[in-house]
Structure 1
Amino acid sequence: LLVVVATRSSIASEGDELPEFISCVNSTIAAQCSSSTAQQQQQQPLYLRLTLWTCEDNCRYNCMHSVTDARPGPMYQFYGKWPFYRLWGIQEPASVAFSLGNLYMHYHYLRMLAKEIPTKYYLRPFILGYAAVNINTWIQSTIFHTRDLPFTEKLDYFSAAMSILYSVYYATLRIFQIDDRRKQLLLGGVLLGLFATHMFFMSFVAFNYVYNMIICGIFAVLQGAMWVMWYFVVGYLRQNKRVLSYGHWVLYATGANALTVMLEVFDFPPIGRVFDAHSLWHLSTIFVAPLWYHFVILDS
């Protein structure tokens, strides 16, 4: 509801429609990229070749910054993204650094969970699976923010959707105490089918950002609502003192997660062309993970 209320009409990518940008790109490409593709690649610095920057991509990058430098007034987005200063070919250095921070956090807790979670606990493999799924998500996020290409974008979006769906899966198994293997597989199969359908639509029908946001938002809210209801129903209404003694940690994690999403809703131009709202969102989620894993360990 907050996303819907905060949404307002906007032109997402006005910068690449500017006449001076189009003129700069056309003239620069004509001057610098007239040779064969192989020759163009050899002329590029090694770090740009390793990060898959073509001659044309490099011209667009340079024109984006030259137009932004010369143009007064508000900063524009180009091809749906803010103009960031790259580092060694890395397209969005801040988001890459903070994605690696999240990756480390989930890896750290995967090792801790393997030691702390009782081996006979029926949810142990699913808890470890949660950490593993999130490790993959942050690997894909690191790759995508290093270089925004169609295939890296899909991997990033699909991995993020997978982590959200897996959160719903784990919440359902825990809250309803589903320890029957057949029921676990059935629920997993249903959610996997939904995920496959989502990937098919995004890959072969339309890579629709609004649709993706709505679907991921629905499941993220569902997962958070499930935990909040579990805590109040089991803890307060049923007066389960054990749950009341530690269950508040899941409220902290859910609340913190909801607050960090505000950085995605209220976007702003990058500070120093490095730190934008999205990169700061990645920074904030580093500190949410310990709240969640602390709850999981106590709950086990």
Structure 2
Amino acid sequence: MAERTARLLLLTVTVGLAWGSQGDREPVYRDCVLRCEERNCSGDALKHFRSLQPIYMSLAGWTCRDDCKYECMWVTVGLYLQEGHRVPQFHGKWPFSRFLFIQEPASAVASLLNGLASLVMLRRYRASVPASSPMYHTCMAFAWVSLNAWFWSTVFHTRDTDLTEKMDYFCASAVILHSIYLCCVRERTVASASPHHLGRGNS
């Protein structure tokens, strides 16, 4: 029974991944994107789009197709709300209003603030803990791994691409793995420094 349930769950997840999200499966959304690309993303129309595109948008990697997908996402959301339906997800994410070139402003700012907090605590730790401490280098390594993860989280929420998504997930996984390693090292360090252990060593 458990094996059958697991297979059904796996099939459901696989089908869900194959189909995508509700919003980007909508014919209205797909037709809108197709028409927008045909109208704006080739020939002289593309040159016109690039001439009007702000420099910060092009530097952040926003293409004509990306702009079409963004605009059509909100067209589809408007139709959903007009019909009294809930706002759907698009490509596995909830729709967010873009600010300048930042795709998810609130999440990007939150990740940036978490990174700054990690940097402040890293500086405090380095100033107050001597380098000869048993856990010093392990904790310093963990701090840099965390800073790297918050950096890529900020980049990912600023501009969602295949590369930034992978870097965000991989670096977040590295923080989890290093947390486990840190706990194991600390357990061993505390055990080796305990009076019981020292007594056994001197006997």
Q: In structure 2, what is the equivalent of residue 49 of structure 1?
A: 58
Instruction: Tell me the CA shift for residue 38 of structure 1.
Output: 7.4
TM-score w.r.t. structure 1 length? 0.54
Could you list the per-position Cα deviations for residues 224-283 of structure 1 after superposition, in whole angstroms to 9, with x for gaps in the alignment?
xxxxxxxxxx9xxx9xxxxxxxxxxxxxxxxxxxxxxxxxxxxxxxxxxxxxxxxxxxxx
Select the structure with the greater relative contact order (CA < 8 A; seq sep ≥ 6). Answer: 1
Map 1:85-100 → 2, pairs under 5 A = 85-100=97-112
Q: In structure 1, what is the equivalent of residue 43 of structure 2?
A: 35
Map 1:182-201 → 2, pairs under 5 A = none
Map 1:1-300 → 2, pairs under 5 A = 13-35=21-43, 39=47, 40-71=49-80, 72=83, 73-177=85-189
Which protein is bigger by CA-based radius of gyration?
2
TM-score w.r.t. structure 2 length? 0.79
RMSD of the alignment, in Å? 2.7
Which runs of 5 or more residues in structure 1 are unaligned? 181-233, 239-300
Shifted more, 58-67 versus 47-56: the winner is: 47-56
Instruction: Tell me the CA shift for residue 41 of structure 1.
Output: 3.3
How many percent of aligned residue pairs carry the same amino acid? 36
CA distance in 2, matches of 1:49, 1:86: 14
Secondary structure in structure 2 of the residue aligned to 1:176: helix
Q: Could you say if the C-alpha distance between residues 60 and 116 of structure 1 is closer, same or farther in structure 2, counting changes exceeding 3 Å? A: same
CA distance in 2, matches of 1:97, 1:78: 22
Which runs of 5 or more residues in structure 2 are unaligned? 1-5, 197-203
Secondary structure in structure 2 of the residue aligned to 1:177: helix
Instruction: Tell me the CA shift for residue 178 of structure 1.
Output: 8.2
Instruction: Tell me the CA shift for residue 43 of structure 1.
Output: 3.5
Instruction: Tell me the CA shift for residue 25 of structure 1.
Output: 0.9
Q: 1:96–1:142: 8 Å Cα contact kept in structure 2? A: yes
